[in-house]
Each structure stands twice: as C-alpha cells, then as structure tokens.
Structure 1
C-alpha cells in the first residue's frame, strides 16, 4: 500500500507539496488502512497467543482467566461483561477453569446471592509465565526496529489504546 506521508527533501529538510486528496480517495484510503490494520492486528494477536505457558486451555478459557488475573476477583456477570459473552456461555467457561483448579468460587461478602471468582496460585503462575514468554518474544522483535520505527510504534500504541477504549 502506498504511503500518504509526503517525502522529505533531504537537502532542505522541507516537505514537498502533494496534490490534494479527494474525499473519495480519503475514504478509500481509510477503508484500506482499516482493513490492513485489522488483519495485521489479528495476525500479531494470534502470534502472541502462541507464546504461552504449557496448558490445555482453549482461547476463551485462557482469555477469561487473563481477565481474572488482571482485574482480580469478579462475579460471573462482571466477567461476562469484560469478555462480552453471555452469562450462560461464561458459566461453561468458568466450570472448566474450576475443574482445572485454576479458579475458585466463593460467596460474595456483599451480596449472598452472588458468587465471586478468583484465580488460584496455579493460575497466577501460569499467567505470569505466559506474560514473560509473550513479553520476551515481543521485546526481541521490537529491539530490532530502527529508532524511527520505535517512535512510530509508540505513537501507534497510543492510537490503538484510544481505538480499543472507544
């Protein structure tokens, strides 16, 4: 895909003027960039998911466990909302995590009708190991980038956080 960033004139350090972009071209570029970004983001996420501690968990189970690991004890409804799945679906996921000894269920001290889900020591060890593996894989690749690529990646990270939080 062609970049819309105008090239700098090396000797003068100024930006060359570019012809104006029509709204149709801008919409097409936005659509292309969005598509390519989505594909690249998905591929990177899949690649990072490969770097995990040895376990038999499915991706949905691992994701739910990750939410509990990061956010601490949650109710089933709260966990379902984080994961954007229905409570009945999350019930099945949690049952597998409980059966695997990775999550415990306790009565809520605030509301006796609710159950609070908490990670076990084994789950926390698994998640810590996974985080170490993923960070090491990514650090190794990022370390190979040029200083300019580092700056672009830092800017893109802020943009991605904004998109994710929108």
Structure 2
C-alpha cells in the first residue's frame, strides 16, 4: 500500500476524483436540457416534499432570485407546481408534479445503472473501502 499522501496532495487528488465522478454521474440525466441547479432543486423537492421558495433556496444554498428563475423553468417544463400554503395564505408551496417525480426517478435509475456494474466489478475489499470513504465524505460535507 502506498504511503499516505501529503495533506495538500490528498486534498487535490480527492477533489479531482470527486469532481470527475460527479461530472460523469451528472451526465447520466434523463434529459440533458435540465441544468444541474434545476435538477438539484427538483430532486430536493422530490425527496423532502413541497416547500416555500425561501426554504428551497436556503436548503440548496442559492439566493431567492436565483431559485425563482430555476423554479420558473421547472414550472414551464411541467416538473413542479405551486399551491397555496395551508397555514399561511400569503405563502406558496412548490412541489414536484408526477412528471417531475418521474424525471427524478429516471435520472437516479440511469445514474445507478451507470455506477452499479462498475461497483460490482470491484473486489469486496474495494467496495468496503468505498463504503467507509462514503461515510467519511458525508462527514466532511457536513462540516
């Protein structure tokens, strides 16, 4: 086993590897016309349920004006819809439509379909290493 890389080298190597894998997986979308930002918002709504524009922009880490544009495109494509908030009639909830949910599920199926056979080709020890690394990367992302 090679010696542990220097912190700078490890940071660079990890960043490059994660970015390359992420870019490859992002290209496995059901429709390439949907941007990464649009898919991120759509997938969050699918996973977490309907929410206000303010909550969606905060959770996705973008400004409300940027999220307004994103949601407008998703609405034009029929992937999300708006409805009045049950408790506060001044607020609007944004949620996925059936088409939006199907789009997210198909994209996830494609991405998993690309990745799964590659994981299967690894040794059990390599898959365990990736499982361990996945948990470590989750913790890094939460810091």
Instruction: Tell me if TM exceeds 0.5.
Output: yes
Tell me how large the CA RMSD over aligned residues is: 1.5
Instruction: Indicate the residue corresponding to 1:90 in structure 2.
Output: 67
Q: Offset at 1:55?
A: 5.1
Q: How does 1:71-110 map to 2 (within 5 A)?
A: 71-110=48-87
Q: Radius of gyration: which is bigger?
A: 1
TM-score (norm. length: structure 2)? 0.94
SS in 2 for 1:74: coil
Q: 1:131 aligns with which of 87, 108, 117?
A: 108
Q: Offset at 1:161?
A: 1.1
Instruction: Indicate the residue corresponding to 1:31 in structure 2.
Output: 8
Q: 1:111 aligns with which of 82, 88, 93?
A: 88
Instruction: Indicate the residue corresponding to 2:3 in structure 1.
Output: 4
SS in 2 for 1:104: strand
Q: Higher helix proportion, which one?
A: 2
Mapped to 1, the partners of 2:103 and 2:86 lie a distance apart of 27
Mapped to 1, the partners of 2:61 and 2:112 lie a distance apart of 25
Structure number with the bigger relative contact order (C-alpha 8 A, sep ≥ 6) is 2
Instruction: Indicate the residue corresponding to 1:18 in structure 2.
Output: none
SS in 1 for 2:82: strand
Q: Which runs of 4+ in 1 moved over 3 A?
A: none
Q: How does 1:140-159 map to 2 (within 5 A)?
A: 140-159=117-136
Q: Offset at 1:82?
A: 1.5
Mapped to 1, the partners of 2:2 and 2:10 lie a distance apart of 10
Gaps of 5+ in 1: 6-27
Mapped to 1, the partners of 2:69 and 2:31 lie a distance apart of 22
TM-score (norm. length: structure 1)? 0.81
Gaps of 5+ in 2: none
